[in-house]
Amino acid sequence: MSTYISKRLIYMLIILLAASLLVFSLYALTPGDFISGNLKLSPERKAELREIYGLNQPLLERYFIWMKNALHGDFGYSLAQQTPVLTLFNQYIWNSFLLAIVSTFMTWLIAVIIGVNAAYKQYSWFDTLVMVGTFAAMSIPSFFIGLFLIKVLAVDLKWLPPGGMLATGSNATGLAYLREVVHHMTLPVIVMTLLGLGSLTRYFRSNMIDVIKQDYIRTARAKGLTERKVLFTHALRNALLPAITLVGFELPALFGGSLIIEKIFNWPGIGQLYMQSFGLRDYPLLVGFTMLIAVLTVIGTLLSDILYHIADPRVKL
């Protein structure tokens, strides 16, 4: 196992290095740079600024400088905000995390409840309804459902605020601050939960169906246990176990924010930061963000494989 993990770690490192070169070159290839977008500058000043930022150097040289600094934990300065990229990430990432952790929790909770019930009543009308519902959840364009709910719940009915994290010009503190944030995050959390429900509900349902057919469930019933106990103590535990491998795959979503949802709801998270920076061609930030997700993806996959081994020791790594 330890040789497997060390081999795996070396491979991860190589893939990430290759990915960083590719990502860096692609962003450098993206037309325009941070300076060319500014119309107020004279050509001389632009050349001067490019010199200062090092944008006039050859691509590979820029990459190696970036890489050298990155290995020292320095991901450069955001050109637009003149702040270290990591400081900015630290500032925005927790807003993304808040949104992600609440909606992930809601998704898992609801998916387990619906999945177990649908599996128990397999082929009933409730089950069919759940199946259609999960397909619906998997087929909604995320940006459209976001816009649609803003239109209905925020603009027309005025139940919830349309976007942002706080009301404009708000300086609430303490409990009032908390209430305001909760009020603002309700809508994005509903959308993210809805979008995640589809595949997860199907997953729990099919796991549960597999487990219910096992001999030990029949034994539990034969012992005269209540159906409730059989279902929620004996069956659910075994149906949940394989799901811990999914935790790893959630990692990029938990810390990487959601580009689309944060943009639509104007949520001050890291995804929204990326979307703003994309138009400005703020390379250090764009490269930093993309590599952050890549690192999280790679770590998440490794984590999943290890958890899979722990959950089911028969699986060889």
Partner 1 sequence: MSSMSEISTGKVPKRTPLKSSIWKQSMHRLFKDKLAVTGLIVVIIMFIACFIGPIFSPYSANKIHMNIMNHPPNMRHWLGTDGLGRDVLTRVLQAGRISLTVGLASMILSVFIGTLLGAIAGYFRGIIDQIIMRAADLLLTIPSLPLLFIFGALLSEWKVPTDYRMYIVMVMLSLIGWPSLARMVRGQMLSLREREFMQAATVLGLSSRRKLFHHLLPNIVPLLIVIATLNIGGSILTESVLSFFGLGVMPPTATWGNMIDAANNMLDFQNRPWLWIPPGFSIFVTVIAINIFGDGLRDVLDPKKKR
Give the residues lining the site for partner 1 (CB under 8 A): 15-16, 18-19, 22-23, 26-27, 29-32, 128, 131-132, 135-136, 138-144, 147-148, 151, 155, 202, 206, 209-210, 252, 256, 259-260, 274, 278, 286, 289-290, 293-294, 297-298
How many angstroms separate the CA atoms of 301 and 308, rounded?
10
The candidate with the shortest Cα–Cα distance to 246, out of 301, 190, 209, is 301
For 284, the token pair is 């250090």
Shortest Å, Cβ 239 to partner 1: 14
The candidate with the shortest Cα–Cα distance to 80, out of 34, 111, 14, is 34
How many angstroms separate the CA atoms of 226 and 238, rounded?
18
The candidate with the shortest Cα–Cα distance to 142, out of 296, 254, 259, is 259
Shortest Å, Cβ 76 to partner 1: 17
Q: Which helix (H) or strand (E) holds 218?
A: helix 215-222
Distance between first and last Cα of the chain? 7
- Nearer to partner 1 by C-beta: 105 or 144? 144
Shortest Å, Cβ 141 to partner 1: 5
- Nearer to partner 1 by C-beta: 5 or 182? 5
Shortest Å, Cβ 100 to partner 1: 15
How many angstroms separate the CA atoms of 127 and 116, rounded?
10
The candidate with the shortest Cα–Cα distance to 291, out of 92, 68, 29, 67, is 67
- Nearer to partner 1 by C-beta: 299 or 306? 299
- Nearer to partner 1 by C-beta: 76 or 256? 256
Shortest Å, Cβ 287 to partner 1: 10
Shortest Å, Cβ 224 to partner 1: 29
* Beta-strand relationship, 77-78 and 83-84: antiparallel
- Nearer to partner 1 by C-beta: 177 or 249? 249
How many angstroms separate the CA atoms of 46 and 134, rounded?
53
Handedness of CA 260, 262, 63, 281 (dihedral sign): positive
- Nearer to partner 1 by C-beta: 32 or 54? 32
Shortest Å, Cβ 275 to partner 1: 8
- Nearer to partner 1 by C-beta: 181 or 302? 302
